[in-house]
Each structure stands twice: as C-alpha cells, then as structure tokens.
Structure 1
Amino acid sequence: MTTHTHEVLVVGSGAGGAMAAYTLANEGHKVLMLEAGRNYDPKTETPMFKRNSDAPLMGAGNKDKNFGFYDATVDGGWQVPGEPYTQGSGSEWMWWRARMLGGRTNHWGRYSLRFSQHDFKGKTRDGLGADWPIDYEDLAPWYDKTEDIVGVCGTNTGLDDMPPSAEGVLMPPPKPRVPELLVAAAAKKLGIPAVPMHRAVLTRPKDDRAACFYATPCGHGCSIGAAFQTTTSLIPLAKKTGNLDVITDAMVKQVNVDERGKVTGVTYVDKNTSAEKSLTAKVVILAASACESARIMLNSKSKAHPKGVANSSGQIGRNLMDSTGAYLGALIPTLKNRPRYNEDGHTANHLFIPWWGHKQHEKGELDFPRGYHFEIGSGFGEPGAWVSGDLDGYGAPLKASVREHYGAYVGFALRGEMLPNKHSYMEIDDKVTDKWGIPVAKFHFQWAEHELKQVEHGLKTAKKILENMGAKVGELPPAEKAISRGGQIIHEVGTTRMGSSPKDSVTNQWGQTWDCNNLFVMDAGVFASNPHKNCTLTIMTLAMRNASWLSEQLNKGVI
C-alpha cells in the first residue's frame, strides 16, 4: 500500500467526479483524482476552427470517431481497444466510454434540464419503478448553485415540467432560428409548447471562461471554456485551491477493504507500465460512470463482501436504464430556397419541446406511464458528407436541388423515460478480461411495452407537427424498429441506485453505500429512475450536495 496525504480518492473526472473533487477541494480537503483515460488539454488540443472540408470524408464519423472526425473524444467510443464488454443472449447494448480527462463532458450535448417534482416519486404516482429518497425541494437550491457555477443559459418557462431557477442564475438564451419558430407555431396548434432549451453554454463571460461566439460545433470541445466541460472549469478551478492532484491513465481494478470489510483505498493499473499500484485514503468516491463504477464494485470481492463491495442487497448492476430514443424528420416546403444567413448559434437547438402530458397522465388518458421531450434539428448546418436520400440525378440539376433543399429539413429527436425491468442489468463476465486482466462487464437489456408505446405516441406526435408545417411524412415505422438500441443515447443510469432501505438499494440519499460508510458513489448509477431529461446536470447537482455533506462528516470526525 502507498499512503498519501489525501483524505479522499475520487475515481473519475467527468461530471460527478470533477464536481465532487471541486466541492471537497474548496472545503479544504486533500483530494486525489484517478482517471482511466489519458490527460487532455482542450486549450491546445481542440480543433475549434477546423471545417468539415478540411477533414477526410468531409468530417464524417468512422469506427474511431463515431461522432465525426473532429469530435473531442480522443481515445474512447463504443468499442475501446483492449477493453471489451459482452452481451447476454438476445441483448443489444452499446456502451460508450470516453477514456480521457473530463470524461463525457468534453463531447456531451450540454442539455441541462432540471428534474421536476414529477420525476422523484413516480412509484407513488403510478406504482412503477422506484421512488427517490429525496424530493425536488431537497435539490432545488443545489440546482441553483450548480447552474451558477457551470453557466447555463435559458429562461424560466413556467411549465410544470421545467422548475424555475432562482432569479439571476440563468444566462440569456440565444434567439430562436427561423425553422424553430416554424416548429413552435406548428406545435402550438396542437396545444404543445416549444421553449428555449437550457444549455451549459455561456452567453456571458464567467470567471476565466469566455462567452460563446458561435464559431464551431460544441462537440469539437471548447478551448475558450464557453461550452461546459470539466477540463476547462471544475478541474482547473479545483487545482487552484492547491488541494487537488490528478493521476491519468489509472485504470482502477478494485476497491480495497480490511478484514472487517471497511474500505481502505483502491488498487489501479498504471496503463503506461501495466504495474499495479494501491492507494489508501479515508474515503473513496466512485464516479467512473454508472456501469464502470458498478463493474469496479462487482469486481471488489472479499470475505466481508462476497458479492462485491457494498452489495449485500444484490442490487449492484441491476436496474440498468437508458433514455429511449427515436427520430423523425421531413422536408419542409416553406423552408426551401430561403435566403442564406449565419444560423449556427450555440450548435444545438435553441428551442425544444418539453413534456406536456403530465395532466394527461393524471387523468389516465395515455397508454404509457412516463414522458418524453423533443430535441429539434434544423437550420443551415455546416455541409458534410451526407446528402438527402430523396435527391437523384447528376450535374447542374442535382446541385440546384441540393441548394434548394439546404436548410429545409426539420427533424425531431425523441428522448424519453425508461422504467427499470428485470431483463435489463449488468454483471461480471467471469470468462472474459480486458488487457489488464480485469473481468469485463456483461450486459443484458430489453425495452418493455411501456417504452414502445411511448415511442409510438412520440412518432405520431412528431408526424402531426411536421404535417402542420406542410411536410409529407408517409407511413411511420413500427416502434420496435424506430426505438434506439440500449445504451445508444448514452444516458445509462441506475446500476447502484439510492433508496431508503439497504434491502433494495445500494446507497442512501447522500450516495453513501449502506454497507461501507466511507465508500460513496457520485455518478448516475445512484439514480432511482431515469427521467426523460438529460442526466448530467443532476449528476453534478447531486455530487455537489453529497460532497458538501461528506465534507461536514469529515470535519465532524464521523467518517
């Protein structure tokens, strides 16, 4: 064992790990962060001003760069060399891993929607899934603090699916684009609102980060810090305190315990030398992502924890959920051949359609239990390798048709809530190891009828909105074909869920494991449900709240 002067070991440098480290470092605690991926400096590595025309295949994605040639991810993806995962019979699960300092915050969509009062007590309302051991009121002040530190633009809409932020917290949103205004008018005819998306992109300068000037896609990474990522904000801010040290290329193998089962530290593999190293600390925080943290815990077996550390409930790896996903788009005749102008904005949709059906759920008017939202794709994006499938011909007539159609498409990306089911979980595959000899994760996954009915409803709704804009949509695909594959939306949660009892949950409301009072989980694994909203803002909010509580316990000498 190597004894360090650090009180707390944090595994992971993404949303949860960086926020936990930032919070604890600012409270005066010595923190050591371990990151399985390589070091990454967005100020020097980000290809902010590169254009698709400068890249192979016009910047299109490939197996090494799934989201395009200039995507910020440097060593990760759906498949990571030397780090396989396996599937159960009949299962299709896609596991995205970033493997870089800052994790997925370097390339995420930066949609930052608060969970609402509807999202925390779903089981009480409809008898399905599990309730959270907290209410919205418990998180509301922490959402304010997180939004303020991160820098979120948007407005208080007054809608029941979008709780308000405190006055002065939100930065002004960018103005809607022409296609989005058309969507808003078409949706309004159905009684459905379209409102500004809340997004972790600065529209005003903050600390040493600049305001967005709408230069290049946020997915490239952001060297000026306008588009939030922990590598330009939380990590350097925590380092400034003098209380945070970081080790990259550190693949954590297991959580270590003493003969009584108390956590003493971790063992990791130095990926540069393949040497195993062990560290000790008062507290270990796992924030490696829902499935990676669960894999570490399941691999941490001992006499005191025969099913994996802190797994007396048998719930680690269970309750695996992802957001539902589906897409429907069409050509809008009104938008053909419109005048060209700069429509970049802050990359993603300036308006979106939040869930509007809570009252319908209360009245029993819907045949599925949980909601969804629509993200809108439209506008004059940077040309790439893609050409619409409904164009034909060649030469001058084809070019004229492409120009006519440029910026005239509108698409709706559905993102919805999944309920946990007994067929969706992860375990350890005892027959397969990664290149460092660590047993890998094995996934089992199925969508249920709840999700298929939800997607069916969403496709029908999207079709009505598109038709209100004059589009010809045609026959809709069946939900079974339209729905995304498990893990494809990269919103996996629930594998170490929090609860009110150690019998059916892994942690309490503070992310503290029931079995080990000095082992915490601070990533999306603790989510008791998977609301339709993107999960990163809530990961950071919980991490700040729970790390603040942990700091109090350390100062009192309770831990």
Structure 2
Amino acid sequence: MPLLIDRKTQPQYDVIVVGSGAGGGMAALILALHGVKVLMVEAGRNYEPATETAMFNTPEMAPLRGEKNPDKPFGFYDANIGGWQVPGEPYTNKEGTEGAFWWWRARMLGGRTNHWGRISLRFGEFDFKPKSRDGLGVDWPINYEDIAPWYDRVEQLIGVYGENDGIANAPNSSPGVLLPPPKPRLGELMAKKSGKKTGVPIVAAHRAVLSQPLDWKNLPKQLFPNNPKAQEIIGKDMMMRAPCFWATDCLRGCSIRANFQSTTVLIPAALATGNLDIITDAMVREIVMKDGKAVGVHYIDKKTRRDAVVKARVVIVAASACETARILLNSKSKDSAGLANSSGEVGKNLMDSVGTRLGAHIPALEDAPVLNEDGAGGLHVYSPWWLVKDHAKLGFARGYHIEMGGGRKMPSANGFSYLNQTSPGVYGSKLKEEARRYYGSNFSFSGRGEMVPNKDCYLELDPKVVDQWGIPVLRFHWKWSDHEIKQAEHMQQTFAELLEGMGGKAKPQSGRDAIQRPGEIIHEVGCARMGSSAKDSVTNQYCQTWDVKNLFLMDGAVMPSNPDKNPTLTILALAWRSCEWLMGEMKAGSV
C-alpha cells in the first residue's frame, strides 16, 4: 500500500492533509473516495492495529504487570505512542500562571483515535449558541440543524451504539442509525437505581463500537448515493469489521476493527481507492506560501533529519488543536502574528473539559457472583446533563455529563490498592480471601464538563525554547474561572449522593481541590476558532481560513466552544461536511 517509506512523493497533489486522526483521517477518506489525489503527512510512526494490538494479553505478560510508567501513562497495553511528555519535544508553561497545562501528543498513524474512549456524543442545539443563552463566550456560525445530517452519516460509517432518549440538548439520531447498546452491568444497574432517587438520568451510552455487524449491503448506498466506486470500497471494508466480542479494553486498540480508530475505519478504505499516499515520521515545520496562497508543506524527515517540501493545490491542517495552532504560528505571513492570524485569534480561546472524579466502596458488591463484566471495553451507560434549563439557580454556566466505572473486569496490580484501606495488616491466606471479597466492590463516577473560554487560557510560541528539530515550542497560559470551580464542586456533591444511594460512604472534595489538571482530560479545543467574521475568528463555517482561501483547518482547533460532550464525533462530522464543500469549490475553481 502507498505508505511512502522511500519518501518518493508525486510532484504535485490536489490536497495535502497534515495529521491522520479524526479530522485528517476523515478528510483523506472523503476526498480520496471522490477521486482527489491526497498526500497525508503524519508526525508519528506507522501503526497497524491488526498486528500490534495485544488483544488477549493478560497483566502478568507485561512489565510491571501492565501498570503505567512514564512512557505509558495509561498502562503498558494502551495503544498510544506518545503522551503528556514526548522525548525531544518539550513545551513550557508561563511562570506565574495559575495552572500548568498538560499537552497530550499521539505520535502514530491515526493519532489520538487509537487511544480515546470512543464516547460519541452529539453537540445539542444549545451547544452551538452558548452566548445567545447566557452571554458568555461566542456562538458558532452554524446551528444543530446544519450539522445533524453529518452526525447521522458519521454514526452510520463508523458504527455507534446507543439509544434515543429524548433528553434536552442530547439530540436523538435519525431512526435506525444507532446500533443496539450492550446491557448495563451490575454496578451500572445499581447506579441507575440510585440515579432514579436523586433525579439523575442514567441511560445507554453512545460509543463508537460495533455491537453487531454493519449493514454493508445498504449503508454504502445511503452514504455515497452517486458514487459506485465509493460504495464498493466502503461495502468491502465494512464486511471486514467484526462486532465486539466483549473481552478487551478499547484503549488497547482493536485488531478485529470493532471499535472506531482512524487506522481501522478511515485510512484502510482511503488507501483502497489508490488516491492516498502517506508519509509517516514527518514533523511539519510550516505551511509554504506563495503569492498569498498555500502551495505546500515544509517538513523534517525524523529518520534522516533532512528538510523536505511537498506541494499541493490545497492544504488541510488537522494536527490536533494545539499542534495546528503551533504550525500556523511558526509559518511565515505578512506580519509576525503567524499565518491566517489577521484576527489575532490563533492560539487564543484554549479550552479543555472540566474533569473530576469520586469513588467509594460499595458493600453490596462484595463477594459478587463471578461474571464476564469486561463488556464493550468502556461505558455501557452514562448521564447526560439533566439540569440544562436550571443554570440561573446553579451559580455556574454550562453543564457536564457523568461517566462511571467499576465491576469485575480484568484484575490489575493497582486494582487491589484499596486493600490497604479495607484490610490493613492482613497477609497470607487471609489476604487472598479479602482480595476475593473486595474485588470489584469499588465504583466511581467521573464528570466531563463544559469550560467557558477566557482570556487567561491561551498558547503562544516560547521565545527561547525549541524542540529537537529546531522548531519553536508552545508556551501555555492557564487559569480556571469560577464557573469551572463551581461546576467541579457540583460534580463532587452529585457523585457523593449517587454513591451513598448505592450504599457507599463518599468523601467529596471542594471544587478547587477536586478539579483535574488542565489538559488531563485530553479534550483540548479552540486556538483557531470558526466564526461569521474575519475580524474575530480564524475560519468560516467550512473550516476555510479567512486569510488563505486554500488553507483549511479540520480538527478541534476550530471549535468556538467546548461542550461537555467529547469532541471527536463533531470533529468527524465537521471534516466530512467541510470536504464536501471544498470539493465543490475546487470544481468551481474558487479554491
């Protein structure tokens, strides 16, 4: 397949796509299916889930019994290559700022899609017009109705399980789009019962995991009605994806292609068209400009440390929100502000999800019957934000959704750390008895909340520090507002109430003590937001930069706000929508 290890690229491509994750992968697929010649440039190494995923390996088969280490912050079996620290690629935080931002990088083909939790939530009608609701932040230049058809298409293409619950600002999918969700597990059933008492709805989660085979005979015709070649390629690719067999944590990746990764769904089909070339281990330094247009990309070959330039009619940057901003700031323009930055908004409006968690021992789960509770490698249920109309009396703007976890999954060394509290001083056969008794009896809740953009959260180039490739690195500025602190406090109190309803004894913290570090949730967005005017935004609603008409940004950088929903599904939908528009513009000669 056209993975260009020899670096022998074509003299000219129609489109260069920088990045291979959700936005870059979707852009490459849609363009390639329609005959566009695409070059994908990826900073990380090649990655093949079919051969590299440790589907059946157990903890004792790994160093430290699979526990986390500096190179693998989510454990040895996590698919991600990279993390919050990447050797030779530092970043800095401005001294004197309140928070130290953690910047997660995935240095592999497929980017973060190889690692994420597959939680696939649609943004709702209120999420696109936050300023109109409470006067904070900015509105998006689109409505929910503009993006809804693309949500349907993405869900059908990648496969998302869930249910339509009719909850305000948690939109339903069109009939027949969602796959059936897996049944709740024991702890989740107890949480659901507690939620009924406290008024917290707990419903089927929406996740990009196949609970049954895709309808490969009919879906391709619906998705690509006037493109027989695309129908053939997508149909064959869907046939090769097996449904989940409920045995492996999704963070490991998926060799049977049951869950969504760019490397299991988007890139294989794009390669099958013959219209996609890929260069890995290529660190992009800047966008190359000529006569006001983007004409290519300047990258460093990480293996040879040589500079190279590739050329195209259109450039799409989808390197992840912060990396995309970094590339723009390092690219030459008419002034020193960076490329596509006449508004001064590149690097501004950095946001991450508000996160906090709380768990407790649940006596009723002690000595539970032995069941296969691995499930779908993640959530079976979740709680959408249920107080969407009550913000005036809550004391903070916006809301959060609740994720939960527990049960008798594959045991780990760290999983028994609570024995220090439940069975202090116990050893020998008695310790084994206690381990069996308490195994799976902990349950926890995590919140993922919306952050309001503020002037104190942004990134810029560090004036003194460069990475090993000689490229200036990012310097972060951060400060939570009272909205986020109060929201985290509300999360803690809600979680404590739910846990106590399950029979546990919870110890909630204050919002300031409980809120997780900025960047820790790995949902950062913003930095190059879309808008209705070039005066206060970087791109239009189709991710086209106002200043450079043939330069597009197709990742979380363009998001004007950061709703409580995980951003990946929306990145995919925006990229598909924008590529359809782009092809129309290319055909018309406007780009």
Alignment of 1:267-306 (within 5 A): 267-302=298-333, 304-306=334-336
Shift in Å, 1:390: 1.4
* Deviates further, 382-391 or 11-20: 382-391
Aligned to 1:435: 468
Aligned to 2:80: 73
Amino acid at match of 2:212: R
Alpha-carbon distance in 1 for matches of 2:466, 2:270: 35
Aligned to 2:167, which of 159, 162, 175?
159
Shift in Å, 1:484: 0.7
2:445 is the alignment partner of 1:412: yes
User: Which string of whole-angstrom CA distances, capped at 9 and with x for unpartnered residues, describes residues 227-251 of structure 1?
Assistant: 1101111001011111111110111
Alignment of 1:127-526 (within 5 A): 127-206=135-214, 207=238, 208-258=240-290, 260-302=291-333, 304-361=334-391, 364-386=392-414, 387-388=417-418, 389-391=420-422, 392-393=424-425, 394-474=427-507, 476-526=508-558
Aligned to 1:83: 89
Aligned to 1:46, which of 35, 53, 59?
53
Alpha-carbon distance in 1 for matches of 2:353, 2:538: 22
SS at match of 1:49: coil
Kept in 1: contact 2:39–2:278 (CA 8 A): yes
Kept in 2: contact 1:321–1:418 (CA 8 A): yes
When the two structures are aligned, how many residues end up with a matched partner?
A: 553
Alpha-carbon distance in 1 for matches of 2:275, 2:198: 54
Alpha-carbon distance in 2 for matches of 1:103, 1:410: 30
Alpha-carbon distance in 2 for matches of 1:327, 1:390: 19
Shift in Å, 1:360: 1.2
Shift in Å, 1:402: 1.8
Alpha-carbon distance in 1 for matches of 2:207, 2:578: 23
Kept in 2: contact 1:251–1:271 (CA 8 A): yes
Shift in Å, 1:299: 0.3
C-alpha distance 218-3 of structure 1, shift in aligned 2 (>3 A): closer
Alpha-carbon distance in 2 for matches of 1:225, 1:504: 41
Alpha-carbon distance in 1 for matches of 2:79, 2:370: 29
C-alpha distance 102-2 of structure 1, shift in aligned 2 (>3 A): closer
Alpha-carbon distance in 2 for matches of 1:556, 1:497: 26
Shift in Å, 1:481: 1.6
What TM-score, normalized by structure 1, do the two folds share? 0.97
Shift in Å, 1:305: 4.2
Kept in 1: contact 2:490–2:511 (CA 8 A): no
Gaps of 5+ in 1: none
Alpha-carbon distance in 1 for matches of 2:10, 2:34: 22
Alpha-carbon distance in 1 for matches of 2:244, 2:58: 18
User: Which string of whole-angstrom CA distances, capped at 9 and with x for unpartnered residues, describes residues 479-501 of structure 1?
Assistant: 11210111000000000000111
Alpha-carbon distance in 2 for matches of 1:17, 1:27: 16
Kept in 2: contact 1:376–1:412 (CA 8 A): yes
Shift in Å, 1:191: 1.6
Kept in 1: contact 2:12–2:310 (CA 8 A): no
* Deviates further, 162-171 or 117-126: 162-171
Shift in Å, 1:67: 0.6
Amino acid at match of 1:220: R
Alpha-carbon distance in 2 for matches of 1:360, 1:440: 42
Kept in 2: contact 1:349–1:375 (CA 8 A): yes
Report % sequence identity: 57
Alpha-carbon distance in 2 for matches of 1:457, 1:233: 38
Kept in 2: contact 1:261–1:305 (CA 8 A): no
Shift in Å, 1:401: 1.8
Alpha-carbon distance in 1 for matches of 2:64, 2:511: 32
Alpha-carbon distance in 1 for matches of 2:169, 2:206: 13
Alpha-carbon distance in 1 for matches of 2:584, 2:273: 18
Amino acid at match of 1:243: N
Kept in 2: contact 1:3–1:281 (CA 8 A): no
Alpha-carbon distance in 2 for matches of 1:407, 1:144: 37
Kept in 2: contact 1:319–1:424 (CA 8 A): yes
Kept in 2: contact 1:319–1:422 (CA 8 A): yes
SS at match of 1:455: helix
Shift in Å, 1:3: 6.4
Shift in Å, 1:557: 1.2
| Runs of 4+ off more than 4 Å | none
SS at match of 2:119: coil
2:141 is the alignment partner of 1:110: no
SS at match of 1:70: coil
Aligned to 1:30: 37
Amino acid at match of 1:382: M
SS at match of 1:358: coil
C-alpha distance 309-3 of structure 1, shift in aligned 2 (>3 A): farther
User: Which string of whole-angstrom CA distances, capped at 9 and with x for unpartnered residues, describes residues 191-231 of structure 1?
Assistant: 21100100000111231110000121111110110011011
Amino acid at match of 2:588: K
Alpha-carbon distance in 2 for matches of 1:513, 1:219: 34
User: Which string of whole-angstrom CA distances, capped at 9 and with x for unpartnered residues, describes residues 120-164 of structure 1?
Assistant: 000000000111000000000000000011110111111113211
Alignment of 1:117-132 (within 5 A): 117-132=125-140
Aligned to 1:96, which of 80, 104, 118?
104
SS at match of 1:281: strand
Alpha-carbon distance in 1 for matches of 2:314, 2:481: 38
SS at match of 2:13: coil
What TM-score, normalized by structure 2, do the two folds share? 0.92
Gaps of 5+ in 2: 1-7, 215-237
Kept in 2: contact 1:311–1:506 (CA 8 A): yes
Alpha-carbon distance in 1 for matches of 2:248, 2:547: 47
Shift in Å, 1:397: 2.4
Kept in 1: contact 2:530–2:537 (CA 8 A): yes
